[in-house]
């Protein structure tokens, strides 16, 4: 890790019927330790103990647990930084439902872990998850050596073009190229025509 992120307040919800609460607690403890060892500021204690929930009640379980955690945190002016979720190995639509609820309804960063990894609890897996969590909470895992030594030219140093492909799926498949020209290299490239509100 280049810059370790910070997780002060987190909770865990277990949707796997095969994982007992004691196993979930042990997994969360090991993951918190790995995050700390990797360079993050990670509180080893969750805001509330891990709980188990039924997959078909995902929305109710998540919103209730989030509310319980925020009831404890808000008087201190704190926010919930992370939700760790243990999922069954075959979880159907549970993963998508969970991400939708966390990201759109609750505005909460989440990290999902499958049951098989919870039981194996390998150091390599925990290290990989720690890296994912670090990026999600604002840390950086890598940086280009050239960027550190300032050998990458800045946009203001020379003409620079950014290309972005957007793929839109509607009634028919369309592809659209958006071409941002920050500094035209020559007159032929600066002649960008606009048709129907799109940059060609």
Per residue in 35-46, pLDDT (tens digit) is 999 999 999 999
User: Residue 79 has which token pair?
Assistant: 């926010």
At residue 1 the predicted structure's pLDDT band, cuts being 50, 70 and 90, is confident
Mean per-residue pLDDT of the chain: 82
Spatial contact of 36 and 73, defined as CB atoms under 8 Å apart: no
- For tokens 């050239």, what's the residue? 146
**What's the mean pLDDT in 116-132?**
96
Per residue in 25-38, pLDDT (tens digit) is 999 999 999 999 99
SS3 (DSSP) at 51: strand
Nearest 10 degrees: Cα torsion 22, 28, 32, 37:
80
| Angle, alpha carbons 133-135-139 (nearest 5°) | 110
Percent of the chain with pLDDT over 90: 68
Spatial contact of 15 and 54, defined as CB atoms under 8 Å apart: yes
User: Residue 105 has which token pair?
Assistant: 């309804």
């Amino acid at each position: 890790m280049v810059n370790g992120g910070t997780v002060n307040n987190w909770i865990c919800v277990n949707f796997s019927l095969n994982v007992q609460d004691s196993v979930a607690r042990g997994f969360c403890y090991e993951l918190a330790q790995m995050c700390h060892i990797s360079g993050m500021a990670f509180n080893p204690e969750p805001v509330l103990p891990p709980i188990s929930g039924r997959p078909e009640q995902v929305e109710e379980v998540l919103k209730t647990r989030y509310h319980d955690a925020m009831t404890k945190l808000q008087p201190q002016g704190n926010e919930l930084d992370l939700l760790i979720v243990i999922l069954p190995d075959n979880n159907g639509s549970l993963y998508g439902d969970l991400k939708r609820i966390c990201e759109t309804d609750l505005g909460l960063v989440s990290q999902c872990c499958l049951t098989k990894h919870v039981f194996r609890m390998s150091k390599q897996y925990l290290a990989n998850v720690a890296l994912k969590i670090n990026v999600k909470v604002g840390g950086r895992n890598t940086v280009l050596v050239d960027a550190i030594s300032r050998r990458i030219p800045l946009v203001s140093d020379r003409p620079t073009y950014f290309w972005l492909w957007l793929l839109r799926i509607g009634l028919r498949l369309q592809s659209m190229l958006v071409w941002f020209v920050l500094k035209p290299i020559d007159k032929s490239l600066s002649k960008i025509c606009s048709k129907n509100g799109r940059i060609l």
